[in-house]
């Protein structure tokens, strides 16, 4: 009998397992259908010995010191600020669009004020910004929208930016200065020995048992547990009884070249040409010294593993129906990107898992004081139906 079954060994499942095991002395079984830990953040040496991210480039960035402090128990960090170039009109220019981008594309020599005027003349006034198209048109106007965003977004998501929530392209700022960093968060570093090593340390606890290559549906009737954390797709948990939530998938093509470096920066985006969206060369991220170099091409796909929830109102509405089912399901906590159908970055998933754990701990403490009172709980997770949470194995 386990106190907890945790489905998924990515950020959501591993943080929950680590906290429950180390802070509440709970006996935890973590399963993952994949043959490895770390979820989509999994990194591994490829055949040439180059450290790659099997599921595409993962750059850690956050403004939350508490999340840095938590993860720093399991890893040291290497400085890294992500930079991305876009291939537009045959040139390589910075994305997010900045002063260099405008000056290079248009053969100008504008100051920051000049860039501001340049954009102001082109912006489309939109009162109610609802879609991803609205966001970009109202910031940079039609031409830059077409060059940088429309094609990339259609390729990545399989729909036009006008059909996507504004939150998607709102991830990308526009700048009038020369800052060419992809992110401006206060903390931008990579785990010094990689993500997988960090997860190994998180899960290395005598209260945690790990079973890989194990699908939840195959063990749910044979394993005994009191409570569960589910980090897979929420519609799958409920056997798609309200219908399928749409996800966007990717096919990752990993390649190794017999030279030290092939790109000037880690990632090059292709908004106008090619079937792939971007190419990432890992040695920029990892700092690895190696005579060869490895890259990943990302080909968006409608079929395959679910990597991205698709932010559209109709999908959010269906998710809310599943969320209502989740609230009515005792003793199961839904944590992470797929379980909440939210386009979370890694730090947001860690933050959600830590907050969920704190609620579990608080309720257990309250139940210790008043064991006959059933606890109520808000947020995205589940209520506790009993008072077993502090019971020892």
CA distance 261 to 289: 10
Q: Which is nearer to ligand FAD, 40 or 207 (CB)?
A: 40
Could you say which of 14, 75, 156, 381 contacts ligand UDP (CB under 6 A)? 156
Q: Which is nearer to ligand FAD, 58 or 147 (CB)?
A: 58
Could you say which of 191, 194, 271, 336 contacts ligand FAD (CB under 6 A)? 336
Residue 326 binds ligand FAD, judged by CB under 6 A? no
CA distance 286 to 228: 35
| Region 262-321 residues binding ligand FAD, contact defined as CB under 6 A | 307
Residue 32 binds ligand FAD, judged by CB under 6 A? yes
- Tell the smallest beta-carbon distance from residue 57 to ligand FAD (Å): 6
CA distance 229 to 197: 23
**Site stretch for ligand UDP (CB under 6 A), options 39-47, 119-127, 147-155, 374-382:** 147-155
Residue 172 binding partner per list ligand FAD, ligand UDP, none, with a CB distance cut-off of 5 to 8 Å that depends on partner kind: ligand UDP
Q: Could you give the string, one character per residue 176-215, with x where binding to ligand FAD holds by CB under 6 A and - elsewhere?
A: ---------------------------------------x
CB neighbours of residue 354 within 10 Å: 16
CB neighbours of residue 166 within 10 Å: 17
Per DSSP, what are the bridge partners of residue 252? 298
Sign (positive or negative) of CA dihedral 9, 12, 18, 24: negative
Q: Helices (H), strands (E): how many in the chain?
A: 13, 17
Q: Which is nearer to ligand UDP, 347 or 363 (CB)?
A: 347
Residue 293 binds ligand UDP, judged by CB under 6 A? no
b/e map 172-196, b = 16+ CB within 10 Å: bebbbeeebbbbebebbbbbebbbb
Residue 56 binds ligand FAD, judged by CB under 6 A? yes
Q: Answer whether 1's CB lies under 8 Å from 393's CB.
A: yes
Q: Answer whether 45's CB lies under 8 Å from 56's CB.
A: no
Could you say which of 24, 31, 67, 95 contacts ligand UDP (CB under 6 A)? 95
Residue 3 class from Cβ within 10 Å (0-12 exposed, 13-18 middle, 19+ buried)? buried
b/e map 318-329, b = 16+ CB within 10 Å: bbeebbeebbeb
In order of 61, 70, 105, 273, 276, the CA distances from 86 in angstroms are 21, 34, 11, 11, 13
Residue 21 binding partner per list ligand FAD, ligand UDP, none, with a CB distance cut-off of 5 to 8 Å that depends on partner kind: none
Could you say which of 165, 344, 387, 389 contacts ligand FAD (CB under 6 A)? 344
CA distance 120 to 140: 8
Q: Could you give the string, one character per residue 252-271, with x where binding to ligand UDP holds by CB under 6 A and - elsewhere?
A: -----------------x-x
Q: Which is nearer to ligand UDP, 272 or 329 (CB)?
A: 272
Q: Which is nearer to ligand UDP, 171 or 320 (CB)?
A: 171
Residue 7 binds ligand FAD, judged by CB under 6 A? yes
**Site stretch for ligand UDP (CB under 6 A), options 40-48, 164-172, 237-245, 357-365:** 164-172
Number of residues that bind ligand UDP (CB under 6 A): 13
Binding site residues, ligand FAD, CB under 6 A:
7-13, 31-34, 39-41, 55-59, 215-216, 231-232, 250, 307, 336-338, 344-347, 349
Binding site residues, ligand UDP, CB under 6 A:
86, 95, 148-149, 152-153, 156, 168-169, 171-172, 269, 271
């Amino acid at each position: 009998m386990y106190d907890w079954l945790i489905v998924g060994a990515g950020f959501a499942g591993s943080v929950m397992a680590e906290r429950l095991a180390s802070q509440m002395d709970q006996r935890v079984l973590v399963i993952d259908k994949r043959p490895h830990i770390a979820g989509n953040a999994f990194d591994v040496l490829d055949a040439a010995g180059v450290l790659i991210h099997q599921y595409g480039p993962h750059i850690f960035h956050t403004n939350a010191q508490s999340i840095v402090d938590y993860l720093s128990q399991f890893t040291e960090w290497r400085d890294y600020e992500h930079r991305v170039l876009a291939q537009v009109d045959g040139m390589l220019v910075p994305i997010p669009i900045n002063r260099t981008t405008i000056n290079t594309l248009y053969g100008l020599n504008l100051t920051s004020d000049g860039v501001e005027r340049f954009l102001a003349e082109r912006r489309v006034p939109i009162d109610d910004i609802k879609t991803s198209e609205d966001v970009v048109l109202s910031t940079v106007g039609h031409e830059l929208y077409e060059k940088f965003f429309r094609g990339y977004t259609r390729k990545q998501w399989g729909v036009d930016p006008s059909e996507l929530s504004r939150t998607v392209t709102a991830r990308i700022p526009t700048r009038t200065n020369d800052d060419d960093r992809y992110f401006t968060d206060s903390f931008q570093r990579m785990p010094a020995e990689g993500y997988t090593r960090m997860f190994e340390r998180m899960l290395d606890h005598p209260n945690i048992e790990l079973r890989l290559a194990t699908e939840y549906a195959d063990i749910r009737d044979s394993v005994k547990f009191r409570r569960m954390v589910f980090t897979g797709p929420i519609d799958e948990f409920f056997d798609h009884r309200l219908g399928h939530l749409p996800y966007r998938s990717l096919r990752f093509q990993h390649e190794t070249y017999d030279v030290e470096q092939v790109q000037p920066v880690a990632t090059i985006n292709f908004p106008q040409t090619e079937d792939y969206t971007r190419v990432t060369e890992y040695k920029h991220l990892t700092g690895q010294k190696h005579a060869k170099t490895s890259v990943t091409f990302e080909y968006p796909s409608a079929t395959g593993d679910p990597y991205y929830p698709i932010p559209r109102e109709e999908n959010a509405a269906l998710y809310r129906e599943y969320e209502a089912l989740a609230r009515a399901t005792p003793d199961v906590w839904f944590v992470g990107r797929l379980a909440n159908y939210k386009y979370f970055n890694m730090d947001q998933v860690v933050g959600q898992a830590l907050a969920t754990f704190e609620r579990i701990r608080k309720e257990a403490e309250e139940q210790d004081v008043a064991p006959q009172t059933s606890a109520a709980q808000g947020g995205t997770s589940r209520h506790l139906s009993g008072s077993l949470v502090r019971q020892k194995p």
